[in-house]
Chains A and B, each alone.
Chain A
C-alpha cells in the first residue's frame, strides 16, 4: 500500500512540475507535446450510493371533484361553466365573432374558499368589459357577478384564430404571405402553415394608431411557421373589438 501511495504522489509531483514547465515554455512560445500529457489516472473514486429517488406514483383515474384548492376538474369546469352562462349574460353579451353570448376566456378555483368556488372569466365584446362570474360549484349557483372596462386577460384560442383571420384578410396579409414564401421558399398554401399565439396588447403612451388598445381588446401575434422558425409580426396589432388591423411602427 505504502508503495502505491508513494508512487501516486510521485506521479502527481511529476505532473505538477511538467505543468509548471508548460506554462513557462508556452510563455516563450516553445510549448511541448509532453506538457499536455494527462496524469496517470489513480484508482476510481468509490461509486456513490444510488442517486436519490423520489416516489413515482402512477396517476390514478382522474378525480371528478377536487379537494380544497385543487384545480377544477374537467367535469367541474363543464358543469360550472354552464351555470356561469346565465340566460341574462348570454342574451346581452357578444363573443369575438359577434354572436350571442360572451367569449369564454378561463376559469380557476378560488383559493381559500370553504367549499369549491370557481371564478369564470368572459369577455363581452358588446360592452368591452371583462366579466367575472363566481360559481359555487357544489351547489351549482352563481354567487357573484362583476364586470369592468379597461381590463384584459390573455386571449382564448378562438380569439387568436380570429386575429389571424383578420390579418390575412387585411392588406398586410399579403405581406405575411410574402414573408412566408421568403422564409420557406414555398408558395403560401393556407393558414395551417402558421402556428400562432398572442400577447394582449396595451397602448403605449406614444401610440397613435392603436391608442384605443386596453379599452379595446387588442392582440400582438407570436407567429411561427409550422415546423419552422418564428417570423416577426410585432408591428401588427389586431383590434378585436373594432375588428381592425393597424401597424404600430
Chain B
C-alpha cells in the first residue's frame, strides 16, 4: 500500500515540475499538454507504474473474447522527460495460425477458438510470482471478474555502461528494468502467454510464449516430425505458429503517422572499407512488405518533434521469424493499412457489418492512401518438436520490438553527468 502512495505522488510531482518548467520558459505549448492525462479508464483497468530508473508507463488493459489481452492508450514519461507522451493507441494480437506439416489439421486460435472468455486462465502458482495479479473481466459471454493479468517489474540487465571520465570513480552504469504485463490462454493442449514488456528506455516488446504440451494426437512419418519417446516410433508432427499483432500508434496524441522503409545497400569501396548507403522509401499507400537484409520500417509522427527538432518515431525490430508461404497472408512480414474500425484481425475477421473485409489481403486491395496507419506484424515459428518439449513444454517465444527513434533527443535514462553529450563536437558539422 505504501508503494502505491509513493508511485502516485512521484508521478504527480514530476508532472507538476513539467508544468512549472513550461510556464517559466513561456513556451507556446498549451498548458493542457503538460498536465498528466486523466485516466481514460476505470482504476481496475489502469496500469501505471514507475520503474526504478524513474520511467513511468501508463496504459489501460482489457480482455477481448477472441484477441485476449488488449492494451489501450499507452503513455511514457521519465525523470528526464517528465511530461507523459502517448505512444500507442492500442496493441493486441490479431491472429494465431497453427497448421501441422502433415497437412491434416490447421487451427486459427484467435478467431476460431479465442484467447479470452473461459479460455483465459486464472493466475495461480508461480504464474505471477513477484508481481501483482490484477482482477478484471474475462469478457466471456457472461463475464466474470477474475485474476487474469500479471503486472510485474523485471530486471533487464545492464541498461548502459560508460567508463567514468574520472577513472578513479566507478563506471557510469545502471541496471535496467521492464514493466511486464502478461495473460495466459489455454487453447487445447497448448497454453499461450501474451506478453508485453515496457522497458525503462522506451522500448516496447510484444511476444507470444507457447507452453503446455505438444499435441497428443499428431504423429507422422519421419519426414514430417521428430521422434519423441523411446526409439524411433512416435514422430511428433512439426508445425507452425504464425502470430499476428495489430499495432495502432498515436505518437504524442497527434496521430497521422507516416510509414517509412529504410534500406542500406553496398555502394562500392572506400579507401579503408566498403561503402554502404542508407536510403528512405516513403510508404504512402496500403501494402504488405517483406524483410531483406538491413531493411527496417518506422512510423514517424507528422508533427510531434523532440527537443532537437527531430520528428518522433518508433521502429519495428523483428528477430527470428519463419514465414509460412502456404498462405499469402502469412508470407509477408508486415502489412500497413489505413485505420478502419472494421479491420480487427489479420485473417478470419468475422464482422457482419464489414462485408467481405476478412483478411489483410482484403484490407490492402484498394491501396488506400494512409492518413492513420495500422501496422500488422507477423512473426512465425516453425516448431520441430524435441524430447525436451515434454512435459510441460519449455516456453518458446516469438515476437518483436518497437524501439523509439528520436522520441526524445537523448537516452531517456541519461544521467545528469552526461547532460551535454548531444550531437557532434561543436554542435555538429
Contacts and interface: CB of A to CB of B under 8 A. Distances in A.
Given A55-B132, A62-B145, A157-B118, A152 B62 contact: no
Nearest to B118: A157
Interface in B126-147: 130-132, 134-137, 139, 141-145
Contacts of A60: 43-44
Given A54-B132, A57-B4, A69-B60, A199 B72 contact: no
B3 A55 contact: yes
B350 A153 contact: yes
B112 to A, nearest CB: 4
B301 interface: no
A180 B376 CA distance: 43
Interface string A216-230: 000000100000011
A62 B136 CA distance: 9
A106 B67 CA distance: 13
Contact of A70 (B7, B60, B117, B135): B60
Interface stretch (A11-19, A128-136, A239-247): A128-136
B351 interface: yes
Contact of A74 (B4, B143, B213): B143
A230 B142 contact: no
A40 interface: no
A120 to B, nearest CB: 10
A127 B142 CA distance: 25
B143 A111 contact: no
B189 interface: yes
Interface in B60-115: 60, 62-66, 72-73, 90, 104-109, 111-114
Interface size class of B (residues with CB under 8 A): 35 or more
B171 to A, nearest CB: 16
Q: Which of B51, B64, B65, B119 has the most CB of A within 10 A?
A: B65
Contact of A69 (B72, B104, B151, B189): B72
A156 B352 contact: no
A144 B354 CA distance: 12
A147 interface: yes
B216 A229 contact: yes
B112 A108 contact: no
B154 interface: yes
Interface in B1-37: 3-4, 7
Contact of B7 (A55, A66, A77, A232): A55
Contacts of B355: 148
Contact of B132 (A56, A72, A105): A56
8 contacts: A52-B153, A54-B49, A72-B137, A74-B144, A105-B141, A111-B72, A234-B104, A249-B104
Interface of B: 3-4, 7, 39-45, 49, 51-52, 60, 62-66, 72-73, 90, 104-109, 111-114, 117-119, 130-132, 134-137, 139, 141-145, 151-155, 177, 179, 187-189, 213, 216-218, 341, 350-353, 355
Interface of A: 51-57, 59-60, 62-63, 66-74, 77, 104-112, 129-132, 134, 144, 146-148, 151-154, 156-157, 197-202, 204, 222, 229-232, 234, 249
